[in-house]
Amino acid sequence: AQKVTQAQTEISVVEKEDVTLDCVYETRDTTYYLFWYKQPPSGELVFLIRRNSFDEQNEISGRYSWNFQKSTSSFNFTITASQVVDSAVYFCALSPNTGNQFYFGTGTSLTVIP
Amino acid sequence: ETGVTQSPTHLIKTRGQQVTLRCSSQSGHNTVSWYQQALGQGPQFIFQYYREEENGRGNFPPRFSGLQFPNYSSELNVNALELDDSALYLCASSFGLPVRNTEAFFGQGTRLTVV
């Protein structure tokens, strides 16, 4: 079975604080991809990152960073020095080697307070 | 702007009616996937079309059907609407398969309310 769990339903932080969004996944596939998407109030899902299961290197892109740990089946997302524009719902997703779909978590709603 | 356009943006239908939602994919993209996102939930995969053929289906009943046209735009049809069909319907376009190897671009969705 394929499953993505985002245990944090809602998070509020004050602007400039760092925040980490947790993602835990389950899959029996040895090859898979993990994704993070941002969903602003307008509704569209905005791609943030794709990570191959064979690549456990952490990645940093500006204020965003991702920590992929296969041993704990986690793919956490950290926003450094958060800004009001970061307020959105963030989804973690899994795409296994079998099939062509994304399996999304239930999302974490992030509110950054000015 | 992702280049993926969905219409209409909002829709109100009565239980038992039929609805058609439309998606224009980004130029050059030949794969369209449809997702249903209930309030407070993550998107759930409905089905996918690749070069006008259905290429995978999620756990949705047959009253959910679709089409992809030669220009790769797509329609999602839902018959015999139920209250639980109220959701945001998202389409995603990408080039080629599998979609995990490419970037999928999502539209802004169609908000369907069934009363």
pLDDT value at residue B100: 67
pLDDT value at residue A57: 84
Q: Both tokens of residue A15?
A: 């602007």
Q: What residues of chain A, 18 to 47, have a C-beta less than 8 Å from chain B? A: 32-33, 35, 37, 42-47
Give chain B positions within 8 Å (CB) of A46: 2, 106
| Percent of chain B surpassing pLDDT 70 | 96
> How far is A76 from chain B, CA to nearest CA, in Å?
17
pLDDT digits (tens, 9 = 90+) for B7-52: 999 999 999 999 999 999 988 889 999 999 999 999 999 999 999 9
Q: Are B59 and B35 in contact (CB under 8 A)?
A: no
Which of A10, A44, A95 to mutate against chain B (most B CBs within 10 Å)? A44
Residue A89 pLDDT level (bands cut at 50, 70, 90)? very high
Asked whether residue B2 carries a pLDDT value surpassing 80, the answer given is no
Which residue in the block uniquely carries the two structure tokens 């959105």?
Answer: A88
Contact A4 B55 (CB under 8 A): no
Q: What is the average pLDDT score of chain B?
A: 93
Asked whether residue A94 carries a pLDDT value surpassing 90, the answer given is yes
Q: Return the bridge partners of A66, or none.
A: A59, A77
Please name the residue of chain A whose CA is at the shortest distance from the CA of residue B102.
A50
Contact B55 A100 (CB under 8 A): yes
- How many other β-carbons are positioned within 10 Å of the β-carbon of residue A92? 28
Q: What residues of chain A, 47 to 106, have a C-beta less than 8 Å from chain B? A: 47, 50, 91, 93, 95, 99-106
Mean pLDDT in residue range A38-42: 92
pLDDT digits (tens, 9 = 90+) for A67-85: 999 999 999 999 999 999 9
Sort B109 into a burial class: Cβ within 10 Å, 0-12 / 13-18 / 19+. buried
- With a CB cutoff of 8 Å and minimum separation 6, the contacts of A3 are A25, A26, A27, A94, A103
